[in-house]
Amino acid sequence: MKYEKLAQDIIKNVGGKENVNSLTHCVTRLRFKLKDESKANTEVLKNMDGVVTVVKSGGQYQVVIGNHVPDVYDEVTTIGGFQTATSEGTEEKMSAFNKFIDTISGVFTPILGVLCATGMIKGFNALFVALHILNNTDGTYQILNATGDALFNFFPIFLGYTAANKFKANKFMGMVIGAALVYPSLAGITAAPAQPLYTLFAGTIFQSPVYITFLGIPVILMSYASSVIPIVLATYVGAKIEKAFKKIVPDMVKTFLVPFFTLLIIVPLTFIVIGPIATWAGQLLGAGTLYICNLSPTLEGILLGGFWQVFVMFGLHWGLVPIAINNFAVLHYDPVIASLFAASFAQIGVVGAIIIKTKNKRLKAIAIPAFISGFFGITEPAIYGVTLPRKKPFVISCIAAAIGGGIMGSMGSVWYMIGGFGIFGIPSYLGPNGLDTGFYGAIIGMIVSFILGFVMMFFSKLEEEEAKEEKTESPLVKQEILVSPLKGDIKPLSEVKDEAFSKGALGKGIAIEPTEGKVIAPVNGVLTTFFPTCHALGITSNNGAEILIHVGMDTVQLEGKHFTPKAKQGDVVKVGDVLLEFDIKAIKEAGYSVITPVIITNSDSYLDVIETDKKAINYKEDLLTIMI
């Protein structure tokens, strides 16, 4: 119970468990709804070790913890006896891309652990055969093979469950759709010597024989045993149909009539429309990715190996996981993300060098367990705790991974199954031909990545990065403080009369109604953008935060009138430097609002952006806290 003491202190200082109406959490915050906020000891909580700050907003009392908030949440709910609630992270406003990533992760995350475990079993089974420890006719082999194959052969049933959970539908409805797709009698209809009734789309890439009809409508039967896209789409549509029936079916018969009508519609619809279209899309996707790999496997390996860790940081890897699984179903192997293993070994090579080089005891204490977990494929501790905060080691690991990935690509290394990660991933490269060139390419790529990462880091300077780490207040949470560039009254972005700002389309932040016509630099950095009309400027901090300060609404139409620049685009600025002066009275008399949004335009790159809880603010007072 790592966070037991912290959880006890939090419960005590929010007024005790009897003062809590409900508790949820998002990516960084515990979100309490308290009966009486005056009973909470806000200042005590703010100064508590393990708590970043406290925010009161939207009727919620928010205790900001950091990226380990799920662990703290578990302790708080256990000790407080609170009813476990669904995380609110998905309820917050998200861009279309983030919604897609959230959907993919929501469907695949619950099953990835078991998917990796069964893949490892299948991989080791293949290894035992290759080493002549087992024969593929042995009973031991057959049982292990069934264990390894079971999940993937009946994948639609499992994905039906997780997809229904994600789309807030009846989970068993999702499983029934998946089970129908792999129903043995239907799957066997196309087996020889059966002859099709006729063929649709003859002579095209979508040529499809028709063996059966449903109410006279042709049904294109396909193999859905290991498919991904059809069941996810079918469950999504099924969730919409179920929701519609819930509104019109009487409560007394809703329990059975809602699934009855939902399944009567969605299962035939899946076989007739959704399944074929989704399968064709999957086939095109698999063929497209294979085509790219065939153009230059080496280049593909370099790019994916080098950028895989970046993809993971920004959640982009979720867009590649379905492609890989789809390739297993269509091609029976995946050449796309096979190079990612180079990244794991490059990362631990860099961390290994840091362990030897550093004299910083705290850094060594973080790096040693990170190295061990990275050896088994869990690289997040190494990335977030060791290499990324120091930048140079992370870049070195990406370079080493790119070279190792290039080697793997050039030697034709592909995945034949989703297995374990790190050292446990080696059997995943064993195919029908056993120890072939692709398998040896994977081993060479991993070794080269590790050695290059180690050597490049060992002969690089680390002292500066260590010095920066010594200044970090907490090893659990890293943050950047943005001070106020204006003096005035604090306003939520929702009050800004411009949807680009009020709906968060441009990023998270806050607004200020200025009482003095001056803008100062809120961070040390570079004035990367200064609009010719002087009404808006952009600053990139030394830590990479991209800040937009937009003075007034529609003030671009003033064409620079009433604005006086005090700096120019490209200037290196320090906190407090005067960047702009403007005439508040004249701007208002011209009919324009002077409310000024201060936005972190790349806020999606951070865990959270926390606003001040002050009602009025002066220059250089803390305005926003960026959780890194």
Residues 523-550: tens digit of each pLDDT: 998 898 888 888 889 898 888 888 999 9
Residue-level pLDDT at 364? 81
Adjacent-strand bridge partners of 53 = 64
Amino acid making up residue 403 = I
Question: Alpha-carbon dihedral of residues 567, 572, 576, 578, nearest 10 degrees?
Answer: 0
Q: How far apart are CA 347 and CA 354, in angstroms?
A: 11
| DSSP code at position 434 | B
**pTM confidence score:** 0.49
Arithmetic mean of pLDDT, 575-583: 93
- Asked whether residue 89 carries a pLDDT value surpassing 60, the answer given is no
CB 415 within 8 A of CB 331: no
Q: What percent of the chain has pLDDT above 90?
A: 32
Q: What is the pLDDT of residue 610?
A: 86
Distance CA 70, CA 584 (A): 45
For the ranges 43-47, 135-139, 555-559, 618-622, the one whose mean pLDDT is highest: 618-622
Asked whether residue 241 carries a pLDDT value surpassing 90, the answer given is yes
pLDDT per position as a tens digit, 271-328: 999 888 876 776 665 566 567 777 888 888 888 888 877 766 554 555 566 677 777 7
pLDDT at 90: 39
- How far apart are alpha carbons 226 and 621 in whole angstroms? 56
Q: Cis omega (within 30 of 0) on the bond before 193?
A: yes
Statement: residue 469 has pLDDT above 50: no
CB atoms within 10 A of CB 403: 20
- Nearest 5°: the CA angle 467, 468, 471 is 95
Task: Give CATH superfamily name and number for 479-627.
Answer: Glucose Permease (Domain IIA) (2.70.70.10)
In tens, the pLDDT along 413-426 reads 888 876 666 777 78
The percent of residues above 70 in pLDDT, for the chain, comes to 84
So what's the architecture of 4-92 in CATH? 2-Layer Sandwich (3.30)
- What local confidence, expressed as pLDDT, does residue 451 receive? 96
Nearest to 390 by CA among 382, 399, 378: 382
Residue 464 has pLDDT above 50, yes or no: no
Q: What is the pLDDT of residue 112?
A: 64
Of 26, 116, 398, 534, the active-site residue reads 26
Locate tokens 């079993």: which residue?
A: 121
> How many helices, marked H, and strands, marked E, lie in the chain?
21, 22
Looking at the chain, which residues constitute the CATH 2.70.70.10 domain(s)? 479-627
CA-CA distance, 305 to 299, in Å (whole number)?
10
Which tokens sit at 306? 């080098």
Pairing of the two strands 217-219 and 596-600: unpaired
Place of tokens 């709906």: 503
Q: Active-site residue 398, yes or no?
A: no
Instruction: State the average pLDDT over residues 191-213.
Output: 83
pLDDT of residue 490: 93
Rounded (5°) CA angle 98-510-494: 75
Give 246-265 as a 3 state SS string: HHHCCHHHHHHHHHHHHHHH
The angle subtended at Cα 460 by Cα 459 and Cα 463, nearest 5°, is 125
User: For the residues 487-513, what does the mean pLDDT come to?
Assistant: 85
For the beta sheet containing 596-600, the strands, ordered from the edge strand earlier in sequence to the opposite edge, are 572-573, 525-530, 536-541, 546-550, 596-600, 508-514, 488-491, 616-617
> Which tokens belong to 560?
């620079």
With a cut of 90, say whether residue 619 has pLDDT above it.
yes
Tokens of 479: 């943050």
Give span(s): CATH 3.30.1360.60, the chain.
Answer: 4-92
